[in-house]
Chains A and B, each alone.
Chain A
Amino acid sequence: MSTQTTTSDATRTDEPGLLSIRDLDSGYGELQVLNGVDLDVGAGAYVAIVGPNGAGKSTVMKSVFGLTTHMGGTIRFDGAEIAGQDPETIIHHGISYVPQNGNIFPTLTTRENLEMGAYILDSVPEDRMEIVFDRFPILAERQSQKAGTLSGGQRQMLAMGRALMLDPQLLLLDEPSAGLAPDLVAEMFDRIGAINDAGTAVLLVEQNAKEALSRCDRGYVLVQGENRYMDTGETLLEDETVRQQFLGG
C-alpha cells in the first residue's frame, strides 16, 4: 500500500491547499524557534516533516494547533486564518492533534478516552466510535480497560483514535513511532496510511525519516527552524545531499 501513496504525489500537490503556512515565525515565550517556515498540506494529502533533533519539527505542528507563541507570518486552514487562535478554537475548524508524549488519559478507560476526543460535540458520536473501533479492533476489545494498562502500541492507537473522533480534515501526528518496538513501526505506518487513504489529510513529524519519507506524498526537511528541502518523499529519499546529511547515508 505504501507504493500507491508515494506515486500519487505529483497530482496531489496541485490540489487546493487545505493548510497553508507562509513565512511563519513562532516559538515559546521569548524564544523563537521557527524562522520563515512555508508549508502546504493539500486536502487528503500525506505530508511528513523530518530533520535533525531540535530543528523545530514539533514546533511547526504545535504552531498550527495554537500551542506556541505566534510571532509572524500566516497559517491558513480551509480558507480561514487560524494563527494565534487557541486550541479550543482550532479544534472546531477540523484539525486534531496527537502529541508525542502524554497523549492518553491513563486513569480513564479506553472508551472514556475516545469520548473525551469528542468532548466538543453535544453527544458521543457512536458512529464515529464504531469507525474508530473498526480501524483499531483492539480498542474495542479493551474499551472498558484503563488506558494506563495498555501497551505502547495500543496507547498510540488510542491516541490516534481519540483524535479521529471528530472526523478531522487534518490529523497532526507528532512522532507516532517514537518508543515503539521496531516490528510495530511498520504496522503503525500502515495504519496511518489507511487513515489517509480514507480521506483524512495527515501532517506527520518523524524521527524515523526513511520510513516517513517512503510513505508520504510530500516531505519537508527542517533544519534549525527553517525549511531546507521540500519535495516528494521519494525524491528526497533519493537525493544525495539529503541522504548524506539527514538520513545517515
Chain B
Amino acid sequence: MLGFGRQRPWLTLVVAFCVLLVVDLVLKLLGTELFVFGTKALGGSLAPAALTAFVLDGVIVGMAVGLAAVGLSMTYSILNFANFAHGDYITGGAFVGWTAAYLVVSGGADLTTRFLLSSNLGLTVLGTPIATVVGLIAAAAGTIVLTLVLDRLVYRPMRDADGISLLIASIGVALVLRYLIAFVWQTGKHGVTAGPTKITALGIITRTSHEWTLLVVGGVLMVGVHVLLQFTKLGTAMRAMADNKDLARVSGIPVERVTRMTWIVGGGLTGVAGYLLVLEGGTIVFNFGWTLLLLIFSAVILGGIGSIYGAMAGGLCIGIVDKLALIWLPSDLTRAAVFAVLIVVLLVRPEGLFGGVKTA
C-alpha cells in the first residue's frame, strides 16, 4: 500500500489536475475564458478581492479547526489513542463558556433563561466585552475540568490498555457527554450572539469583530503552544513522552503529571476552539462538536498523526481548501473537496504532511 502513492500515473494525474486548476484560476482572475470545441472549458471571472476573501474565510475556519486539532493531536501523540470524545469536549466547553457569559452579562433575562441559553441575549465582543472574555476563560477552564474528571474516571484506570480499547471507551464517553448536554440544554439550536460590527484592518481587509477575535486569539494560542513545546521544560518533557514513554519514565520525568498537563493544555485549547466557533457562527447546538470531529480528524491526519504543528497546518489547509473550493463547487460539495485533498495527500504521502516528526 505504501508504495501505491509513489507510482507515476497517480502522481501525474494529480499534478495535471492541480495545474489545470491553477491555470483556470489564473484565467478567472484575468477575466478571460477559454473555449474548446465551442464550449467554455476554462476561465471565467473572479475578482482578486473575492479570492483573498475566500482564503481569509478559510484561514478563519482553519484556525478554529486547527486549535481543536492541536488538542486532539496532543492527546494522540502523548497518550497514544484517538479520542473520539474530543468533538463533545468542544461542545461541552462551548456550552460551559456561553452559559458563563450569559450568567455574567447584564440584561433582563431570568436565571433559568440565562442558564439554559433559552433566548438570544445578543452578545458581541465589542458590545459585551466582559461577558465574552469571562465566557472564553470559562470555556477553557470548564473543558479542562471536564477532561481531567473524565481522565480520572475513565482513561487513567486503563492507562496501559491498548489504543483500540481506549478508542472504544472514548466513543462511550462521547455518547454520554453528548446526551448529557442534550438533557440539560435540549437538542434545539440556540442563537447567542448579535450581528457583530465590521472592522477594517490595514485599510483593505474587512471582517467582523468576531472573526478578528478568532484570528487573533487563535494565532496567539498557536504561538503559545509553539513556545510551550519548544522553550519550556514541560513542553520538552511532553515531546519526550510522545517520543518514548518508557525512557521518559526511567529518566525521572513524572509521567502522570505530564499526562495531566497534556490534558490541561489540550483541553483548554479545545474549549477555546469550541467557544470561538460559536462566537463566529452565532449559534450553538448539542452536537456541533461531533459533526466537526471528522473535519478535525482530517486536519490531524493531513498534518501527520501525532504532529502538533501538523495539526495546526492541517487545520489551516482544510479551512482554506473548504473555502477555495467554492470557486469551482457549490457550497454543499466543499466538504467533499476537503476529503478529496485528504485522500490525495495520503496517497502521495501516507505519513501526512508532517508525519514521522511527531511533535517536533
Alpha-carbon distance between A16 and B321 when the two chains are bound, in angstroms: 70
- B236 in the interface (beta carbon within 8 A): yes
- Among residues of A, the one whose C-beta sits closest to the C-beta of B230 is A112
Known contacts A99-B246, A146-B360; A108 and B252 CB within 8 A of each other: no
Which A residues between 60 and 86 are near B, CB-CB below 8 angstroms? 65, 67
Alpha-carbon distance between A92 and B251 when the two chains are bound, in angstroms: 10
- B116 in the interface (beta carbon within 8 A): no
B233, B244, B250, B359: which contacts A87 (Cβ < 8 A)?
A: B250
B239, B252, B254, B255: which contacts A105 (Cβ < 8 A)?
A: B239
Kindly list chain A residues whose C-beta atoms are within 8 Å of the C-beta of B250: 65, 67, 87, 91, 97, 99
Cβ A119 vs Cβ B251 within 8 A: yes
Kindly list chain B residues whose C-beta atoms are within 8 Å of the C-beta of A104: 244, 247
Cβ B357 vs Cβ A108 within 8 A: no
Cβ A107 vs Cβ B247 within 8 A: no
Q: Mark B242-277, 1 if CB is under 8 A from A, else 0.
A: 111011111111110000000000000000000000
Question: How many chain A residues have a CB neighbour from B under 8 Å?
Answer: 24
Cβ A99 vs Cβ B247 within 8 A: yes
Cβ A119 vs Cβ B359 within 8 A: no
Alpha-carbon distance between A211 and B360 when the two chains are bound, in angstroms: 39
- Among residues of B, the one whose C-beta sits closest to the C-beta of A106 is B243
Cβ B240 vs Cβ A88 within 8 A: no
Cβ B357 vs Cβ A107 within 8 A: yes
Known contacts A91-B252, A117-B251, A162-B251; A112 and B236 CB within 8 A of each other: yes
Alpha-carbon distance between A235 and B264 when the two chains are bound, in angstroms: 58
Kindly list chain A residues whose C-beta atoms are within 8 Å of the C-beta of B359: 107
B236, B247, B254: which contacts A102 (Cβ < 8 A)?
A: B247
A97, A99, A105, A120: which contacts B243 (Cβ < 8 A)?
A: A105
- A208 in the interface (beta carbon within 8 A): no
Chain A's nearest CB lies how many Å from the CB of B276? 30
Cβ B249 vs Cβ A108 within 8 A: no
Cβ B251 vs Cβ A116 within 8 A: yes
Alpha-carbon distance between A115 and B236 when the two chains are bound, in angstroms: 9
Cβ A116 vs Cβ B248 within 8 A: yes
- A103 in the interface (beta carbon within 8 A): yes
Chain A's nearest CB lies how many Å from the CB of B80? 14
Alpha-carbon distance between A105 and B251 when the two chains are bound, in angstroms: 11
Chain B's nearest CB lies how many Å from the CB of A109? 9
Known contacts A99-B246, A102-B244, A119-B237; A107 and B358 CB within 8 A of each other: yes
Kindly list chain B residues whose C-beta atoms are within 8 Å of the C-beta of A146: 360
Alpha-carbon distance between A195 and B244 when the two chains are bound, in angstroms: 26
Alpha-carbon distance between A162 and B243 when the two chains are bound, in angstroms: 15
Cβ A105 vs Cβ B247 within 8 A: yes
Which B residues between 177 and 211 are near A, CB-CB below 8 angstroms? none
- Among residues of A, the one whose C-beta sits closest to the C-beta of B257 is A88
Kindly list chain B residues whose C-beta atoms are within 8 Å of the C-beta of A115: 233, 236
Alpha-carbon distance between A120 and B253 when the two chains are bound, in angstroms: 7
Kindly list chain A residues whose C-beta atoms are within 8 Å of the C-beta of B249: 87-88
Chain B's nearest CB lies how many Å from the CB of A238? 36
Chain B's nearest CB lies how many Å from the CB of A65? 7
Kindly list chain B residues whose C-beta atoms are within 8 Å of the C-beta of A67: 250
Alpha-carbon distance between A104 and B240 when the two chains are bound, in angstroms: 9
Kindly list chain B residues whose C-beta atoms are within 8 Å of the C-beta of A87: 249-250, 252
Alpha-carbon distance between A203 and B239 when the two chains are bound, in angstroms: 30
Kindly list chain A residues whose C-beta atoms are within 8 Å of the C-beta of B236: 108, 112, 115-116
Cβ A107 vs Cβ B243 within 8 A: yes
- Among residues of B, the one whose C-beta sits closest to the C-beta of A146 is B360
Alpha-carbon distance between A91 and B233 when the two chains are bound, in angstroms: 18
Chain A's nearest CB lies how many Å from the CB of B41? 47
Known contacts A102-B244, A105-B239, A105-B240; A119 and B360 CB within 8 A of each other: no
Q: Mark A50-67, 1 if CB is under 8 A from B, else 0.
A: 000000000000000101
The residues of A with any CB-CB pair to B shorter than 8 Å are 65, 67, 87-88, 91-92, 97, 99, 102-108, 112, 115-117, 119-120, 146, 162, 166
Nearest 5 CB-CB pairings of A with B: A91-B252, A105-B243, A107-B360, A120-B252, A105-B240
25 A–B pairs (Cβ distance < 8 Å), ordered by A: A87-B249, A88-B249, A88-B254, A91-B251, A91-B252, A92-B252, A102-B247, A103-B247, A105-B239, A105-B240, A105-B243, A106-B243, A106-B244, A107-B239, A108-B236, A108-B240, A112-B240, A115-B233, A115-B236, A116-B251, A116-B253, A119-B251, A119-B252, A119-B253, A120-B252
With A106-B243, A108-B360, A116-B236 known, 9 other A-B pairs at CB within 8 A are A65-B250, A87-B249, A87-B250, A88-B249, A99-B246, A115-B233, A116-B237, A119-B252, A146-B360
